[in-house]
């Protein structure tokens, strides 16, 4: 996909090992020059910068404390990005992704279309898979997104599930669809406990977003994006919404009509996000 890949980390030994690991598979990949080190100038003039750095969440730690520790890392890194790759796009993978994407935008000063996070890409994928399993259909026939932090909407082969099953995902749901978000959270927690974090699935999802940018594909992904003015949100926040992505980054936000419950959940997510942002010590 890319013709050049630069890996940057404080540990040059780690970078060297990762480069060798990737280079061992070079014959199976399209031509791509892979290099790296601890000097940010190695990534100068990049088209895309992927922010992977994130401190591990300590058991019992508050989200605010976790954000503060990650903020310190971003303060050290982002000025180098701005200096060496001033025209780049920043894709944030660090958790909590919506807050860290806001921080990357604020620290970089980049236009909002050029800073976005991986958002609910993985949650949306898991949601579609779970719905497809309940309906015994191929997941490729399910179109649905998890947005904000809680809401979800789904279609199957162009048919809105709530048009044929109005109770879908509500408290009155007798088919168990309303338990899907809980199942997704439990799955994530199990992965975190076993291996620290999900990596393969996150990497594949990120590659798909990069492909949309590099090849100007105009694809829709649920990404963390600037949300003020969307669906009644009146705060400077980044939250996961269906984004149209091309060579310019986030070209726009596309929304289907939301139910009142979904609007309430999105508004609640936005409020929580803003309260956390206001608590950050810059």
- Which 8-state DSSP code applies to residue 56? P
Q: How many CB atoms are closer than 10 A to CB 255?
A: 13
The whole-angstrom separation of Cα 175 and Cα 186 is 19
Contact by Cβ (8 Å): 209, 221: yes
Q: Angle between the 97-108 and 260-279 helix axes, to the nearest 10 degrees? A: 60
Please spell the DSSP secondary structure of 212-243, one letter per residue: HHHTT--EEEEEEEE-TTSTT--SS-EEEEEE
Q: CA dist 22 to 5, 15, 38, 42, 69, Å?
A: 10, 11, 18, 17, 30
Supply the DSSP symbol for 201: H
DSSP assignment string, 77-131? HHHHHHHH-TT-EEEE-SSSHHHHHHHHHHHH---GGGEEE-TTHHHHHHHHHHH
Whether 70 has a binding-site annotation, put simply, is yes
Q: Compute the chain's Rg from CA coordinates.
A: 19
- CB-count burial class (<10 Å; 0-12, 13-18, 19+) for 270: buried
9 is in an annotated binding site: yes
Binding positions are 9, 70
Annotated binding site for NAD(+): 9, 70
């Amino acid at each position: 996909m890319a013709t050049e890949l630069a890996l940057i980390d404080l540990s040059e030994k780690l970078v060297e090992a990762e480069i060798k690991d990737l280079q061992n598979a070079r014959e199976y990949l399209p031509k791509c020059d892979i290099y790296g080190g601890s000097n940010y100038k190695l990534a100068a003039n990049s088209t895309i910068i992927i922010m992977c750095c994130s401190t591990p969440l300590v058991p019992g730690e508050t989200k605010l404390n976790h954000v503060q520790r990650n903020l310190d890392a971003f303060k050290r890194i982002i000025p180098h990005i701005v200096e060496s790759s001033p025209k780049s796009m920043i894709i944030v993978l660090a958790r909590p992704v919506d807050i860290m994407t806001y921080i990357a935008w604020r620290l970089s000063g980049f236009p909002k279309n050029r800073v976005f996070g991986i958002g609910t890409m993985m949650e949306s994928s898991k949601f579609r898979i779970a719905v497809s399993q309940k309906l015994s259909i191929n997941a490729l026939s399910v179109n649905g997104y998890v947005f904000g932090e809680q809401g979800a909407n789904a279609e199957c082969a162009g048919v809105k599930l709530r048009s044929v099953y109005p109770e879908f995902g509500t408290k009155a749901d007798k088919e168990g669809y309303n338990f899907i978000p809980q199942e997704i959270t439990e799955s994530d927690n199990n992965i975190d406990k076993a291996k620290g974090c999900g990596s393969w699935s996150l990497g594949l999802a990120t590659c798909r977003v990069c492909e949309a940018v590099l090849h100007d594909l105009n694809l829709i992904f649920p990404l963390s994006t600037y949300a003020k003015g969307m669906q009644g949100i009146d705060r400077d926040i980044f939250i996961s919404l269906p984004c149209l992505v091309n060579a310019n980054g986030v070209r726009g936000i596309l929304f289907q009509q939301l139910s009142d419950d979904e609007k309430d959940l999105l508004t609640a997510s936005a409020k929580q996000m803003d309260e956390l942002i206001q608590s950050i010590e810059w």
